[in-house]
Structure 1
Amino acid sequence: MTMSPLPTLESPQFQESGLCELPNAASMYEKILQAEARAVQDGANENVMLVRVVGHPLLELHAKRGIFGNRPCETIIDEVIPSSTGHGDGDNVVFEVGRRYRDHLICRFRTSTEPYRYPPPSSHPSRPSYDKTAKEKALARDDFQCMITGSFDETSVKHNAELQAREKDLGGRPTVVEACHILSESTTQGVGASEESSVVNKTHYAPGVLAILTQFGLERLAKALEAVNGVHEVWNLLSLEPHIHADFDSLKLWFESTDEPNRYEICFFNVTIGRYIRAISIRPETSGPNAKMVDNFSSDWEGAPPPDPKLLALHATCARVAHMSGAAEFLDDLERQAEETDVLAFDGSSAHLLSGLISPYAVIYGVA
């Protein structure tokens, strides 16, 4: 998947999407196309990317209306349609909407740092005793295996004879299996009142993603995440081996829903990721050259529900939009520049870098 222009109003992709059936969708989309054309003509690469961060989600979210309904698309339409006609202010409105979704949605489903590595369990893995933390619940829910490759968690195998026998029968090699957050662990850190204090301690950037979830009609999900330790609930966790964890966090791998509940197609940014999965997988669904690359994220344990399908669908949307819009490349370049820059330049030439780095932390006013 590579960066791509927005489809025109006359294109089969747009016509077959059915998006024009929504009120004001066609006129709003025309504004976006005009802003894209002017940004391309001006050579304003970041603005081109921001416009596409608005346009591509419309098609992606509308395609997932069976999961979300029309509310997300209607929200984006309502944000863009009031923009004034003409060259200036209208385009700026589109750019700012794109910046908001890049910084407070895509960035919140994207983690660039090393995955948070939880210490492996020290107790013997048994369901009655393995419910101390959400990470432990997730690992037990997922049968002490990476959900994609089937690789067993090495510490769990070490302490359990039954897992040792199963691992020997299936082959492969035990590895570290990590807890991977669907929505970034840092997203809601400090949001809400602590149990010990009545003082509300909000990070600057958390309200942005929670406001977007609420505006998309996902109020219950936003409130669940806003609760104390809500982001660590088992429905926001996947059990993945480290390399796949890193690819998921960086939006290079995602899961698309199928017609069957809790069954997902494994999608990835480049074929190298697919080759890696096939090479180490001990599951027939994800091993071998003709693997279907699908997996079941089901759970028959009431205390540990499967990963939330709406969160997975939003992650998939953000991953696809990040690559189609150029946001993924922009954010990667921004991080490389930050790593290579020890101090900001006195002449102001680092202003773009500084602005890009602090933009996701700007206060977003609205419903949180």
Structure 2
Amino acid sequence: MPERLPSNDYPLGSNEHTAYQSCLVLEALGSSWGVVISNLEKEASEAVMFKFSPQVAAQVLGYALRHSLSVEGKAHLVQEILDCNNNGELLAGLSYLYVMGMIRVFKNPKGSVLTSLSSHSSRASFRATADNIAAALAQPTVSSSKAKDLAKARDNYRCIVSGIVDLVSYEEDPMRFNEAPEVAAATTSLGHIFGQSIMDHTAGMTRAARAKMEWAATAAAVIERFAGIPILEELNQNDIHRPENTFTIADGLHPAFDRLSFSLCPIDDDNNTYEIHTHPPNRNAMYRLPNRVTLTDATSGKIPLPDRRYFQLHHASATIAHLSGAGEVVEQLFRDMEDIKVLAEDGGSNHLLSLALSSRLQALSVY
């Protein structure tokens, strides 16, 4: 369940205090944008950004402040909130940008990039030799099939969070494993930290909000501003199959990761050790997850491990999505877009899709 923002404990008179107070004022509007959109044109009032209630919008911004990853990222967000000057339409647009830029790119309820590692294939098995690894990594982009091979080799043919052995790899070559025949094994998939496009332009905003936040045309811009990660450069524009963004995960856990139901939180004093947090908390036993995991590279440094900063941002986004309730609204948007996709298949315009979303979600409230 979403949680109301804590009281304002930032130093009185500081920019942080003023910005956070704007979030508390917005939260107090309740579940309806009625006062804010009453003077807007009909098309503007039906913008998708208003599908996130004032409470949700306020909590996205407020919890983003409280869970910011750096001094610079917090300073950017504080200034962006202050620049909205308590204008509800602009605050709604800013919150929507952070939802689209930090939650949507991780939250993947449809599993559009899930790639099974455990299906038998007629192609030759990948051998993790130094030459094969170097050849795969030298490619300008990594294919999904090659990414599967690299992730399995690096992760020692195991799910990185549960330690479960990839079933097909075990059946193909039991000698590569030292475990007893009773070893726990299951089918696995190729997981992605960033699971959606980071280059899509953000639609669904009013003209005023779009003009105010013109710097944030794409999710990548929001990521770089909040987390300081030059993601377009690091992922070679949009190559989400790079080793730094991929990992081996048991099929039974994959959907939960993509729904932001659990995340890996870096431990300060160890670059490759993470606490596993569930959202809601304290559900590790339910998912059969350990409380902590250390990632290791079975190729002795030949293949990069998943990037710690990516997991850190994924964890912050999962926390914000859960505490604010924005994750629930994103899932509802996905469901409604699926329900009305026949409009697009029949030639329906984006405007019709927006109107359909509006009619389906106008009564949606997290509380």
Same fold (TM > 0.5): yes
Question: Which amino acid is the alignment partner of residue 157 of structure 1?
Answer: Y
Residue-by-residue CA offset, 1:186-207 (whole Å, 9 max, x unaligned):
33489xxxxxxxxxxxxxxx95
Tell whether 2:214 aligns with 1:214.
no
Provide structure 1 residue ranges, at least 5 long, that are not aligned to the other structure.
10-14, 62-67, 191-205, 279-285, 287-291, 358-368
Q: Which residue is equivalent to 2:73?
A: 72
| Aligned equivalent of 1:36, options 16, 27, 40 | 27
Match of 1:281 in 2: none
Cα distance, 1:243 vs. partner? 2.3
C-alpha separation in 2, matches of 1:228 and 1:33? 37
Contact 1:185 1:232 in 2 (8 A): no
Among 145, 152, 157, the residue aligned to 1:139: 152
1:47 is aligned, of 50, 54, 60, to 54
2:165 alignment partner AA: F
Question: Given that residues 29 and 54 in structure 2 are in contact (C-alpha distance below 8 angstroms), is that contact kept between their aligned partners in structure 1?
Answer: no
* Partner SS for 2:29: helix
Instruction: After TM superposition, give the deviation of residue 302 of structure 1 in Å.
Output: 2.3
Amino acid at match of 1:74: A
| Cα gap change, 1:60 to 1:239, in 2 (>3 Å) | same
2:178 to 152, 163, 166: 166
Q: Say yes or no: does 1:97 pair with 2:109.
A: no
1:186 aligns to 2:197 (yes or no): yes
Does the 8 Å CA contact 2:106/2:194 hold for their aligned counterparts? Answer: yes
1:228-239 alignment runs, 5 A limit: 230-239=239-248
Corresponding letter in the other structure for 2:27: E
CA distance in 2, matches of 1:295, 1:273: 16
Amino acid at match of 1:253: F
> Taking structure 1 as reference, are residues 329 and 313 closer, same or farther at Cα in structure 2, changes over 3 Å only?
same
1:297 is displaced (CA, Å) by: 1.6
Contact 2:23 / 2:58 at 8 angstroms: preserved in 1? yes
Deviation, structure 1 residue 318: 0.9
Report what 1:297 is aligned to.
295
Separation in structure 2 between the aligned mates of residue 330 and residue 84 of structure 1, nearest angstrom: 26
| Whole-angstrom CA distance in 1 between matches of 2:281 and 2:62 | 26
- Structure 2: runs of 5 or more not aligned: 35-49, 137-145, 202-215, 362-367
| Letter in structure 2 aligned against 1:156 | S
Is contact 1:36–1:52 with CA below 8 Å preserved after alignment? yes
Between the aligned partners of 1:252 and 1:355, the Cα distance in structure 2 is 29
Partner SS for 1:246: helix
TM-score (norm 2): 0.73
Supply the distance in 2 between the matched residues of 1:240 and 1:274 (Cα, whole angstroms): 16
Residue 18 of structure 2, aligned match among 7, 23, 27: 27
Query: Conserved in 2, the CA contact under 8 Å of 1:183 and 1:236?
Result: yes
Is residue 2:236 matched to residue 1:245? no
Q: Which amino acid aligns with 1:111?
A: N
SS at match of 1:243: coil
With the length of structure 1 as denominator, give the TM-score of the two structures.
Answer: 0.72
Structure 1 runs, 4 residues or longer, greater than 6 Å off: 41-45
Instruction: Give the aligned partner of residue 327 of structure 2.
Output: 328
Secondary structure of 2:83's match?
Answer: coil
CA contact (8 A) 1:28 1:81 kept: yes
Match of 2:40 in 1: none
CA contact (8 A) 2:117 2:188 kept: no
Residue 284 of structure 2: aligned partner: 274
Alpha-carbon distance in structure 1 between the residues aligned to 2:306 and 2:13: 30
CA distance in 1, matches of 2:359, 2:14: 35
Larger RCO (CA within 8 A; separation ≥ 6): 2
Report the Cα offset of residue 172 of structure 1. 1.5
Give the count of matched residue pairs. Answer: 307
Distance 1:213 1:54 in 2: 14
Query: Contact conserved, 1:255 with 1:264, CA < 8 A, in 2?
Result: yes
Q: Any idea what the Cα deviations from partners look like across 1:202-256, whole Å, max 9, x if unmatched? A: xxxx95221112223625443112x156322101112101121111111111111
| TM-aligned CA distance change 1:219 to 1:336, over 3 Å | closer
Residues 124 and 159, structure 1, Cα contact 8 Å, conserved in 2: no
Q: Answer whether contact 2:97 2:222 (CA < 8 A) is retained.
A: no
Whether the 8 Å CA contact 1:149–1:277 is kept in 2: the answer is no
What one-letter code is carried by the residue in structure 1 that aligns with 2:355? A
User: 8 Å contact 1:188–1:231 — kept in the other structure?
Assistant: no
Whether the 8 Å contact between 2:187 and 2:251 is mirrored in structure 1 is yes
Alpha-carbon separation, structure 1, partners of 2:330 and 2:54: 14
